[in-house]
A and B are shown apart, each in its own frame.
Chain A
Amino acid sequence: MSDFPNYETVIGLEVHVQLSTASKAYASDSTDFGASPNTLVSPITLGHPGTLPKANTAVVESAVQLGLACGCTIREHNLYARKNYFYADLPKGYQITQDTTPICTGGGVNIRLSDGTERTIRLTRIHMEEDTGKSLHDLDPFHTLIDLNRAGVPLLEIVSEADFRSGEEAYQYLSEIRKLVRYLDISDGNMEEGSLRCDVNISVRPVGQERFGTKVEVKNMNSFRNVQKAIDFETERQITAIRNGHTIAQETRMFDAAKGATILMRTKEDAHDYRYFIEPDLPPVVVTQAAVARIQADLPELPQARWERYQKELQLSDYDASLLTENRATADFYESLVGSGCTPKSAANWVMGPVRSWLNERALRVEDFPLTVTALAALISLVEAETVSYSAAQQRLFPALMEQPHAAPADLAQALGIVQQKDAGALEVHVDAVLADWPDKVAEYRTGKKGLIGLFMGEVMKRSGGSADPKTTTALLRSKLD
């Protein structure tokens, strides 16, 4: 924080990733987001007497995938634990989680800051747990409404070391986590819908001091930006308090997005004693080395590896490589274009240019792009072969192809009359006509105004309906004029 050069902010993040498994962590209820309230609730989810949990193995699989992607150590013998507290949206009165034996320990996440600095944020642990229901306090003036559809939906909690020193680092870390879980296809990573959630532990200390300051926990941020804002606000609040001679209390605060400020939620005295103990209803889950090896072998190429490969092998710029690897579907789409024979650079330009604009205008994802890779590759190869100019392809051929996705791009180019005319004989007719139309300009050119060649070129283009091959035309004009 440049505003407070004598202080350092120390931040650790606890990120909850809601897994996109088909069923809940310990029951067979569906996990669909947006279903009518309290419709995805079996007796198990409701905590009815006599019900028992049954671990969903897909959760373990997802946890191992994420752990391997982050270079964590995977635990073989995994115990579940109960975390006890009372709340209206916690049906059993405890949450099934992991306490002393998290499935993943160690590892880290690499981030890059806007100034190009690279850092590794170390992870403490990743563990498996279940979500609570939702308490809706603002829909009814007199009651809190409870929706238990979310109760029991599987979560992974990713706990980092206190390695962050700024809000921007936290922002980049969250982006990396989101990118990773989407690459692994284990979560949609959507912070606004709550499938990615983040609590911040933050303290400040004078630069050079080794001991950590008193840590404050901040909750309730619903976007990456708000995480950054909450950190910035809290940094300033804590440093100002210390400078004014106050001490920082260990407490939990809530971020109020409207005010851009954090407000006190509960003090340390009100903190829960969760009384963790081993969940007796679930036997330990054993993750064998063979299972780890199989999951490792099945991991997709991760964003960072792709980003490096695109620069090294495909000679793309850092910027292009970053944009293309932002999500797995885009990178896959790009690579299939290259695989279909497009040059890496032109494929990159098309994906990040016309394709991206077309999708953005319609708020669609690349998975929803209606054109086959073959059709788009055929279009791009027309440009690469200089059969169609880039501008004609982008402005006329591409929109036409999107209208008739099953047409052959070459036929469409013919029909649109934008196939570049390279036949000197045919072009000569246009050239002669233009020169005949503009005798004054021809005279001026010959006195030295060489720039007028652009005018003649434009006129030839007009006459040819945009199909004149620029190189051939220029050569013809020069031979007639010079």
Chain B
Amino acid sequence: MGFSPLMDYRAVSAGKTTCAALVEEALTRAGQAADLNMFIELFSESARAQAAAVDARLAAGDSLPLAGMVVALKDNFCYRGHRVSAGSKMLETFESLFSATAVERLEAAGAVFLGRTNCDEFAMGSSNETSYYGPVRNPLDPSKVPGGSSGGSAAAVAAGLCHVALGSDTGGSIRQPAAFTGIVGMKPTYGRISRHGLIAYASSFDQIGPFAHTLEDAAAVLEIMSGADAFDATVSSRPVVSSPPIAPIGPQRYAYFQATLDHPGLDPHIRASLENLFEQLRSAGHTVDAVDFPYLDQLVPLYYVLTTAEASANLARYDGVRFGHRSEQEVDDLDGLLKASRSEGFGLEVQRRILLGTFVLSSGYYDAYYGKAQKGRRLLRDHAESLLASYDALLSPTSPHTAFPIGRENSDPTVMYLEDLYTVHANLTGLPALSLPGGLHPNGLPWGLHITTGRFEEPALFAHAALLQNTLSAH
């Protein structure tokens, strides 16, 4: 507790401090917070060099939109000449030959990369406990998880080690940890930001997004990272517009799924806080409607069938043949080498998801699982599209509860999978969503408010987030 954010990065362009000074401060803080296990590696040397370069460019009169911004990268972002391991033993010593498009764009805009943050192995987890490098501790309460899979990134921002951190969100991996650490976490529309250089978990779900203390900072980096990219065929070529967090004028139309509030897993205080928020909105003249949503219990199964299927193929390249962990065991043949290397290199949760994904795609089961889940996904998309034709945004809790103790939920994977109950909807439908700090629970930990808008309506998402933030703080 008691973390203060770093000095605003805009102070660098304003000449009030230097990028080098901010980076030194960030490195010092990171060193002091090492026991929280947030970083797998600090890029001290390259960060100092980047900072010097930014200061030099500013001195030469260049203007850089993100000059002085200190950014942490989740350990699944490729950054040329740096290691990237996806929180796995499999890639412990792997160094990337290129930088992710998002990383390159931030660097060009004047951001400095502090280091790579701890995360669940291959982004598979909701508590940051599947990492080969051990769990990350929540800076707000070190006995609690920070959420996952981008737990290190969320914790690093919450602890004031950096202005912004990048995460990847396949089923809630940015929004849930943002809720658990009391900061802003945002997942853009699928296709808004190039995935080039993001280590894939589930290709049709993965999106890159920011963690930040403020909506302004999140919107600023979103704008820089967004847009067409020759290296990713699935990225949209839609023009990038800025998303200033300015509350819209006049009455707005909000919807929520009654089933999300009625879910037995939802913490009563979070439910009451939400209902209270809805009342405030209504009394301010906005519409807040409960709408039917018959698919809530299908969301998590749909998500796990589809994402594990894609993951089983995406992770097939880690075979110890060309790079990554290769077993030293005596083996008889290629199959032996592959089995030994993958059994040693992958942790249990990753192995479980690869097996699950292999199963749902296998001949004889494909139609019952993968095929059916694809149809379910289409149904969900259509449903969300028609809903958001009549409403401006969809509201829900980000997580059913606040951050839970380390070690509590990792005995039964299906309990952990329910962590994603409210967040997977945005990944299944590809819609943009954001988690906003909702306030403090009586247990002293923050809860998150989850906002979803229509496809490529990031500007609306930030505008509504501003309105809701105002409403929450007026309380």
Task: Out of A49, A82, A280, name the residue touching B199 (CB < 8 Å).
Answer: A49
Interface residues of B: mostly helix, strand, loop or mixed?
loop
Q: Are A273 and B317 in contact (CB under 8 A)?
A: no
A358 contact set on B, CB distance < 8 A: none
CA distance A94 to B313 in the complex (A): 7
**Contacts of A275 on B, CB cut-off 8 Å?**
312-313, 358, 361-363, 366
Bound CA span A449–B59, Å: 113
Tell whether A54 is near chain B: CB-to-CB under 8 Å: yes
Which B residue's beta carbon lies closest to that of A43?
A: B97
Interface centre among A49, A84, A94, A282 (most CB of B within 10 A): A49
- Stretch among A15-23, A85-93, A251-259, A313-321 lining the B interface: A85-93
Count A-B pairs with CB separation below 8 Å: 99
Partner of B91, one of A46, A49, A91, A94: A49
A93 pairs with B322, CB closer than 8 A? no
B464 contacts chain A at the CB level, 8 A cutoff: no
Q: Are A281 and B309 in contact (CB under 8 A)?
A: no
A86 touches B316 (CB 8 A): yes
Q: CB within 8 Å of A: which of B161-194?
A: none
Q: Which of A54, A91, A146, A280 contacts B231, CB < 8 Å?
A: A54
Closest to A93 in B: B316
Q: How far is the CB of B74 from chain A (nearest CB, A)?
A: 12
In angstroms, how far is the closest chain B Cβ from the Cβ of A294?
23
Question: What is the bound-complex CA distance between A282 and B203, given in angstroms?
Answer: 10
Nearest chain B CB to A377 CB, angstrom units: 49
Indicate if B451 sits at the interface (CB-CB under 8 A).
no
List of B residues within 8 angstroms of A146 by Cβ: 321
Chain A min CB distance to B314 (Å) = 9
> Is B436 an interface residue, CB under 8 A from the partner?
no
Q: Is the CB of A281 within 8 A of B234?
A: yes
Contacts of B199 in A (CB 8 A): 49-50
A322 to B197, CA, bound (A): 54
Is B86's CB within 8 Å of the partner chain A? Answer: yes
Q: Is the CB of B322 within 8 A of A277?
A: no
- Chain B residues with CB below 8 A from A282, complex form: 233-234
Known: A84-B316, A92-B317. A50 touches B197 (CB 8 A): yes
Does A177 reach chain B (CB closer than 8 Å)?
no
Q: For the side of the interface on B, what is the size category? A: 35 or more
Report how far A82 CA is from B358 CA in the complex, Å: 13
B381 CB to nearest chain A CB (Å): 15
Cα A354 to Cα B231 with chains together (Å) = 53
A231 at the interface (CB under 8 A from B): no
Judge whether B233 and A46 touch: CB under 8 Å.
no
Closest residue of B by beta carbon distance from A272: B363
B231 touches A52 (CB 8 A): yes
A206 at the interface (CB under 8 A from B): no
User: Does any Cβ of B come within 8 Å of A180's Cβ?
Assistant: no
Q: Hey, which chain A residues are within 8 Å of B100, CB to CB? A: 50
Q: Are B338 and A86 in contact (CB under 8 A)?
A: yes
Q: Which residues of A contact B319 (CB under 8 A)?
A: 86, 88, 93
Q: How far does the alpha carbon of A86 sit from the alpha carbon of B339 in the complex, in Å?
A: 11
How far is B321's CA from A96's CA once the two chains are assembled, in angstroms? 20
Residue of A nearest to B202 (CB): A280
Cβ contacts under 8 Å, B78 to chain A: 49-50
Most buried by A among B97, B322, B358: B322
**Complex-state Cα separation, A276 to B334, whole angstroms:** 23
A49→B234 contact, CB < 8 A = no
Which one, B86, B203, B230, B366, contacts A280 given CB within 8 A? B203
**CB <8 Å contact, B312 and A281:** no
Docked CA distance A390–B164 (Å): 87
Query: Among B84, B231, B313, which residue has its beta carbon within 8 angstroms of that of A84?
Result: B313
Are A47 and B317 in contact, CB atoms less than 8 angstroms apart?
yes
B465 within 8 A of A: no
Report the separation of the CA atoms of residues A53 and B323 in the bound assembly, to the nearest whole angstrom: 19
Closest beta carbon of chain B to A185's beta carbon, Å: 27
B233 close to A88 (CB less than 8 A): no
- Evaluate whether A93 and B203 lie within 8 angstroms (CB atoms) in the complex, with A87-B334, A281-B233 already known: no
Task: Tell me whether A460 is interfacial, beta carbon within 8 Å.
Answer: no
* A86→B317 CA distance, assembly (Å): 9
CB-CB under 8 A from A273, the residues of chain B are 362-363
Which residues of chain B are near A43, meaning CB under 8 Å?
97-98
In the complex, whether B196 has a CB less than 8 A from a CB of chain A is yes
Tell whether B425 is near chain A: CB-to-CB under 8 Å. no
What residues of B have a CB within 8 angstroms of the CB of A281 in the complex?
200, 203, 233-234
Chain B residue nearest in CB terms to A51: B196
Contacts of A406 in B (CB 8 A): none
**Once the chains bind, are A49 and B203 in contact (CB under 8 Å)?**
no
Q: Is the CB of A52 within 8 A of B96?
A: no
A55 on the B face (CB < 8 A): yes
Q: List 8 A-B contacts (CB under 8 A).
A: A49-B96, A50-B200, A52-B195, A55-B233, A82-B313, A92-B317, A280-B202, A280-B310
Task: Point out residues on B near A: beta carbons under 8 Å.
Answer: 77-78, 84, 86, 91, 94, 96-98, 100, 195-200, 202-204, 230-234, 309-310, 312-313, 315-317, 319, 321-323, 334-335, 338, 358, 361-363, 366, 370
- Please list the 9 inter-chain residue pairs (A to B) with the smallest Cβ-Cβ separation, ordered nearest first: A93-B316, A275-B361, A280-B203, A280-B204, A50-B78, A47-B317, A50-B197, A49-B199, A273-B363
Q: A interface vs B, CB < 8 Å? A: 43, 46-55, 82, 84, 86-88, 91-94, 144, 146, 273, 275-277, 280-283
Known: A52-B233, A93-B317. 9 other contacts (CB 8 A): A50-B84, A50-B198, A50-B200, A84-B312, A92-B316, A275-B313, A275-B361, A277-B370, A280-B310
